[in-house]
Amino acid sequence: MTGFALLLALAAPAAAPTHAAGAAPTPDALMHADDEAVRRGFTRTRKTVPLAFQGSFRRTAAECGTESDTALVIGPTSIRIAGKEGAGKEGDVQEVRVEGPRKILVTSIYEGGGEVWEKTETLLLGREGRSIAFQLDTGPYTRVRCPAN
């Protein structure tokens, strides 16, 4: 009888982790799940921006540490681009397609200047990760990584 109970316990599916009712997973938890799914080869599509692409960026290293209309901040689930006189835009990441170790396609819903729109952008990472560029029709919009505080 004890052997039967042990067999039954081993055959039962493991309990899946649950979230509190109504609580959404944190951006870090989403990023970890995305990393694991990509690592295992399940998908190339994520809900978060890979860590290598995240950070604070400016047009020049001299602008780092200051508020600037060239500021770009990329987080796991958001992209914030500063603008003149506070007219920046902030995007909520909807989907990230990994094209390679230094290239991703990010679809975000942006809001700024009283408007809301969806946009898919190609982001390219510099060889040592010290710069990032949005590939635009008019050419690259490149920014340098600011040191972490």
Task: State both tokens at 18.
Answer: 């649950």
CA 68 to mean position of chain CA atoms: 22
Tens of pLDDT, residues 91-111:
999 999 998 889 999 999 998
d(CA 93, CA 51): 14
Contact present, 81 and 89 (Cβ < 8 Å):
yes
Say if residue 133 is exposed, middle or buried (CB neighbours under 10 Å; 0-12, 13-18, 19+).
middle
What pTM was computed for the model?
A: 0.72
Which backbone phi and psi does 25 adopt, to 5 degrees?
-65, 150
pLDDT > 70 in the chain, percent: 80
